[in-house]
Structure 1
Amino acid sequence: MSIFERYAPFIQDFIYQNDWESLRAIQVAAGDAIFHTDENVLLSASTASGKTEAAFFPILTLFSENPPTSVGAIYIGPLKALINDQFLRLNDLCAEADIPVWHWHGDVSQSHKAKMMKHPSGILQITPESLEAMLLHKHAAITKLFHDLRFIVIDEVHSLMRGDRGGQTICLIERLCRMAGVNPRRIGLSATIGDLEATGKFLAAGTGRGTVIPRIQSKGVRWRLSMEHFYVQDRQAAEDNPPAQALPELAPKTDTAPDDADPGMGYIFEHTRGKKCLIFVNSREECEAVTTTLRQYCEVKHEPDRFLIHHGNLSSAYRETAEEAMKDEDSFLTTVTTATLELGIDIGRLERAFQIDAPFTVSSFLQRMGRTGRRDLPPEMWFVMREEPPEPRALLPTTIPWKLLQGIALVQVYLEERWVEPPRLDRLPYSLLYHQTMCTLASCGELTPAALASRVLTLSYFHRVSQEDFKLLLRHLLEIDHIERTETGGLIVGIAGERLTSSYKFYAVFQENEEYTVRWNSQELGTIVQPPPAGEKIAIAGHVWVVEEVDHQRHTVYCEQVKGKVPAYFGECPGDIHTKVLERMRLVLQEQKSYPYLMKNAVSRLQLARHVARNSGVTEEPLICLGGDMWCLFPWLGSYAFLAMERFLKCRCAGALKLTGLAPSRPYFIQFKMQADKRTFFRVLLEQERKPLDPMELVYPNEVPVFEKYDEYLPEELVKKGFACGVLGIDEMRERIRGWEMFA
């Protein structure tokens, strides 16, 4: 029997109604794995390849044949918008078979949630944070809700694998299954997984099952890719240094931008006209600035505003307005966005995506590229690299176009090797350990220390955490009143812990700043941090507002809209770049090959950078004298190994080398003053590397490197250990130093 024939009749009807001529390879493979094995399943295929249907067609078939007596499947999505989108897609399909679909997150009405609590059935779509809230506040109802749970589908599984949020998701699944007495199969979906085997193990943690990973031979996809470079002012690179070969223009200039426009912004303004596009940026601040600029250009040219905005600090009303407008097939609107529209929300047929500067990861590049090219069009992305023109007397490292090199490297490592960042599963997640300890106590009530340890330390994500570490944590939590001991020797949540766990913000393990809601008349615009005093201006929702009043007690800012431009601020936005990308950046400078997607200015800027690199020897030797006693080290290491190198120099080598004024530009280069010569520098590094190194040495005296959301509630010893042994890339750093032996 074919997979199509195995599907329930209502699914076959759905396929006919949608004029599908055949099932896709991923759907056949998923059907085979779900129908014919009892294993977990990992489905990895390109964006818009039908992964969601691939997972749910067999699940719904099985449910129609043998309806579950509780919620039968949980779909965990990383974003509310993704859940809303999938809810609409699944609802139509399931209505035919009378299988309910419920969605559950902060923006869903209480009446919808109450119905699900009364009649637990079908499919529940939920975020990790809402699932945490459910385990905390509906603890007694978990068995009733999930006693016949058969499947847990984790969408965009790659987005959960590089930090505490993924660990939290696995812990939540294990806790729920223990409470409900079930062992459902897990199905992971993703378009961009770097290490399928490691992801399969992560997915299967604690289930006692293996993971089936169908290998799908994807058809070659032709990309439309371009990368252009702009100085934000003055002459462009190609004007001063025309490329050796003649390059065709990617698209005719329409000259619609204002005369004095920022060249990069003007380029985007021109080439989004009459098209439906996304513009990706790497921070919420930049998202606001770019939207404000492009809207001002519309105003100057007396054109209607055609730019929308979408990021995590906007109110749900603003986000959903942008999502709905983009779904309109006849609209020619462009949305400026952060990673919030990177994942698989269906926003219809997009003609092209723009990326301002380089994203941090290959995974992000592929996700963003995959947002376009639906409905049989090729994926299309235009990179726009912007930098201040180098000053005539600028020092060497600042004359190198790092973002341009990073963009080329991200593209090349994927084109040449199909490489994507592997998951980071070897951390020491003490912040998450605190969170899950408090959640367990808050939901279960009094537990003996031994019972608490058996519930928390047996969660598979904490395999590197020792009993001694856990005892240390519990002693500290007793001292700070986050937990307290009862007369019978049990543990309960303490007064200080109660304040924390009763807040809705406790459900999330990702870092949040203290946020203020911004209001204009009856509208909620979104949230900001560190609001300025009354009379000052702020940027949010793509407009500028003057602050009329700040209510610190209610965390609310009241404002009025005005014209103008000001920077927005939402909190820090660090990037995480892999060593593989830095090494490919170095090769970009070394090799003489051209890349067909580079446009005229980008070709000229790269030629200039290669000329500088050749003359300075920066790609051949890692240490360059900038003049006098000023030096610059180019380690070509990713973010966490670079951080380890920086600390190794300060803690182990600074004294012997008389090294001062160390100024890193992470993760590209480290400038410093040094009294020693080049050979001595490498000799000292090698001598120190050969000595035993306790990672705790790389934590500065009196430093408590708070890195994750709940680190502030941990004993200092665990914060330092988690940072030194779980964050710093010490092994990679040591390997790099050993590779410099020829220079000693």
Structure 2
Amino acid sequence: MTEQATGFDALAPSVQHHIVNTLGWSALRPLQEEAAAPLVAGQDAILLAPTAGGKTEAATFPLLTRMSNEDWRGTSVLYVCPLRALLNNLQPRLSSYAQWLGRTAEVRHGDTTAGQRKRLQAEPPDILLTTPESLEAMLVSTVTSPQVMFANLRAIVVDEVHAFAGDDRGWHLQGVLSRLEAIAGRPLQRIGLSATVGNPHELLRWLRGPGRDGHGSVIDPGGIGKDSVVHLDWVGTVDNAAEVISRLHRGEKRLVFADSRRSVESLTLSLRERKVETFASHSSLSVDERRRSEQAFAEAQDTVIVATSTLELGIDVGDLDRCLQVGAPRTVASMLQRLGRTGRRADTARNMLFLGTTEEEFLRACGLLLLWSEGYVEPIQPPPMPYHVISQQILGLTLQRRALTREDIHHDLAAFAPLTGTEGEAIIDHMLEQQFLVSDGELLFAGPAAESRYGGMHFRDVMAVFTAAPQFTVLHGRTEIGQIDPMVLRSPHDGSLTITLAGKGWRVTSIDWNRQRAQVEPSTVGGKVRWSGVPQPISAALTSAIRRSLQGVDPEGVELTRRAQEKLAELRAEFTPFVGVNESDVLAPHDRGRARWWTWAGGRENARTLAALTRVAPELLGEAPTWDNYAITLSEEATMPALRVALAEALERVTEGDDVFAPLIDEKVLREVKFGDMVPERMLRAEVAGR
């Protein structure tokens, strides 16, 4: 009887040799074993595994095999990540693997210098690590030819694909991939790497795009089981959290997540005041500052790093002993990513300690842990109706080709799912009307409106689908520390203005309002810290779980400290009248003569319900109706029977084609949609309402 072929057998002999002799591996990990044969055969795939589950190698080894077997030349593989730091972290590893075949792997992103870019053009790497924004920049470049640069493409790896698919950067990426396939003249093999998601097959269909032939695979050897050690504690304040962290797990390496940059700064400063070696990592710190923190943390042992979700993704900070969470993330998927940071060594278990600092966060943690204990993971849902991304891709393609026809647009964006004939044509017509495009016979060109609105810095604004909030750069001498919200610098203060950044106190010595820079010098005390942001609603699944937790359902496999048990008992008693133990809906008195309807439906559903009531029964709303994740505030005259009648009427009108549940649109929101001015107003309103 012949031995059954393994995934390892599917790899090229040279790759096999280095796995055994250079890496010293006795076997592939389960994901790598299962992925090898289908990927070597050229299949599209989604590879699922927790952080440090070997996803990068599971994708790279088969692609190196194809590169060797099929003699790929030039830049044949793209490796796309959502974060520059992740690319920097991966490059040395991918470069070492590429060298097994005498090939190269290089990084290009927004921090790549002009000299490095020139070298990459002269010597194209076999594997290019990059972001969607840098791909866009290369496609519209007037310096290099995208036809030459991308003619040899064969495959793309999308790392942390769930992070892309959940927002408009994913649609941007899909449009860019369609244009790259048009240049290469062939479909690219598409491989997505992801943590556990609730709908991996739908995620694979999204990644592949429309019109793909052949099979695709979801490869999932199993994620993080319930054998993880998870605790929940109630501490009440960030300062108390710092005290707990300073006393626990001494001598160990601890990664602490906090879900805002402000909390990261406050917690880092508090820990340093307690003589704990602590580093900070978040998106508003300079690249060098983050790199210094992450490197120092990776090399130390008795230390703490405090981070936002920037360290949730696959950046390597070495073996961790403990993962702690101050507050709570908004999804089980995020929790799994963070939990997966620990337990890499054979003698350790995955572990996570939640520290509740506010009642809101504590309840969110309770709901999240209940969902986790039930095995729930959120589905990834790409944003609907990305009309503004369609307009951005049409303009980007026009800049790329200099002149093109409508047929060219539909050809080059054929693998871009949102571009349908009717909607695409309506957007092109509008762009012509508003002179974002101009025509000469059948040929289309970028118009004067595009030049005046988006043409600055060689159309730099077209490279990204998001607009970053304005921030001031903070400098100590010539060293950039990071960026802060300008409102911090404008806020009233007595005497010297001090700020906190990178977990340290700084005194502001001068402000250059024109260049948006602030000079600082070290201070013995911390000061103000803030960044602007938009509150994010939580899902109906999570608000429902919070309700069930308040009704008395406990998560299995989670240990609550005595303080957490007491706090949960207190909150359960407080919310008893509002959680509908005996009925599904609760209407309760509220302040200023209003009533509060506790729906526990999530922010999005509550916004839709309030919109329907506004159109169907405005008399129930009162003067200042509001909604949040848990409830809708109405007139004191509102009653449950009246609300049921109103909702029944709303549902009847929906069956007649009147979408009374479409959320009410603030005109300011319409103006803030990047590229929204290139979309017909009715379509833009539909997009914003649909989201």
Q: Tell me, yes or no, whether TM beats 0.5.
A: yes
Q: CA deviation at 1:713?
A: 5.5
**Match in the other structure for 1:235:** none
**Superposed CA offset, 1:168-191 (max 9, x none):** 111111111102223221111111
Which of residues 229, 236, 256 is equivalent to 1:231?
236
What is the number of equivalent residue pairs in this alignment? 671
**Superposed CA offset, 1:142-196 (max 9, x none):** 2322322221111111111111001111111111110222322111111122201
Q: Distance in 2 between matches of 1:170 and 1:695?
A: 32
Q: CA deviation at 1:651?
A: 3.8
Q: CA deviation at 1:498?
A: 4.8
Q: Distance in 2 between matches of 1:148 and 1:658?
A: 61
Aligned 1:205-216 pairs, distance under 5 A = 205-206=209-210, 207-216=212-221
Q: CA deviation at 1:382?
A: 0.8
On the 8 A contact 1:357/1:385 being kept in 2, the answer is yes
Q: Distance in 2 between matches of 1:625 and 1:217?
A: 45
Local SS of the residue matching 2:635: strand
Q: CA deviation at 1:198?
A: 0.4
Unaligned runs of 5+ in 2: none
Q: CA deviation at 1:433?
A: 1.9
State whether structure 2 residue 600 is matched by structure 1 residue 636. yes
Which of residues 281, 285, 298 is equivalent to 1:327?
298
**Match in the other structure for 2:465:** 509
Cα 1:404–1:702 change in 2 (3 A) is closer
Q: CA deviation at 1:219?
A: 7.8
**Match in the other structure for 2:482:** 526
Aligned 1:585-600 pairs, distance under 5 A = 585-593=546-554, 595=556, 596-600=558-562
On the 8 A contact 1:651/1:700 being kept in 2, the answer is no
Q: Distance in 2 between matches of 1:209 and 1:307?
A: 50
Q: CA deviation at 1:202?
A: 0.8
Aligned 1:310-709 pairs, distance under 5 A = 310-328=281-299, 330-376=300-346, 377-387=348-358, 401-416=359-374, 418-425=375-382, 427-449=384-406, 451-452=408-409, 455-456=412-413, 459-463=416-420, 466-467=423-424, 469-471=426-428, 473-475=430-432, 477-478=434-435, 482-485=436-439, 490-494=444-448, 495-500=451-456, 502=458, 504-531=460-487, 532-533=489-490, 535-593=496-554, 595=556, 596-616=558-578, 618-619=580-581, 620-626=583-589, 629-655=593-619, 657=620, 659-664=622-627, 666-692=628-654, 693-694=658-659, 698-700=663-665, 704-706=669-671, 708-709=673-674
Cα RMSD of the aligned pairs, angstroms, is 2.7
On the 8 A contact 2:454/2:462 being kept in 1, the answer is no
Local SS of the residue matching 2:37: helix
Task: Single out whichever of 691-700 and 305-314 deviates more from structure 2.
Answer: 691-700
Letter in 1 for 2:282: H
Q: CA deviation at 1:60?
A: 1.1
Letter in 1 for 2:398: L
Local SS of the residue matching 2:385: coil
Q: CA deviation at 1:32?
A: 1.6
Which of residues 245, 248, 266 is equivalent to 1:268?
245
Q: Distance in 2 between matches of 1:492 and 1:506?
A: 12
Q: Distance in 2 between matches of 1:505 and 1:428?
A: 21
Q: Percent identity?
A: 26
**Match in the other structure for 2:260:** 283
Local SS of the residue matching 1:225: strand
Local SS of the residue matching 2:219: coil
Q: CA deviation at 1:541?
A: 1.6
Q: Distance in 2 between matches of 1:47 and 1:676?
A: 49
Cα 1:474–1:695 change in 2 (3 A) is farther
Local SS of the residue matching 1:466: helix
Cα 1:500–1:675 change in 2 (3 A) is farther
Local SS of the residue matching 1:68: coil
Letter in 1 for 2:645: R
Letter in 1 for 2:524: K
Unaligned runs of 5+ in 1: 233-260, 299-304, 388-400, 728-744
Cα 1:108–1:61 change in 2 (3 A) is same
Local SS of the residue matching 1:384: strand
Cα 1:219–1:574 change in 2 (3 A) is closer
Task: Single out whichever of 702-711 and 714-723 deviates more from structure 2.
Answer: 702-711
**Match in the other structure for 1:202:** 206
Local SS of the residue matching 2:250: coil
On the 8 A contact 1:278/1:353 being kept in 2, the answer is yes
Letter in 2 for 1:381: M
Q: Distance in 1 between matches of 2:96 and 2:415?
A: 40
On the 8 A contact 1:533/1:550 being kept in 2, the answer is no
Q: With structure 1 as the length reference, what TM-score do the two structures score?
A: 0.84
Cα 1:546–1:438 change in 2 (3 A) is farther
Task: Single out whichever of 453-462 and 98-107 deviates more from structure 2.
Answer: 453-462
Task: Single out whichever of 531-540 and 287-296 deviates more from structure 2.
Answer: 531-540
On the 8 A contact 1:71/1:121 being kept in 2, the answer is yes
On the 8 A contact 2:50/2:195 being kept in 1, the answer is yes
On the 8 A contact 2:396/2:462 being kept in 1, the answer is no
Local SS of the residue matching 1:545: strand
Task: Single out whichever of 714-723 and 580-589 deviates more from structure 2.
Answer: 714-723
On the 8 A contact 2:178/2:415 being kept in 1, the answer is no
Q: Distance in 1 between matches of 2:352 and 2:224?
A: 19
On the 8 A contact 1:87/1:101 being kept in 2, the answer is yes
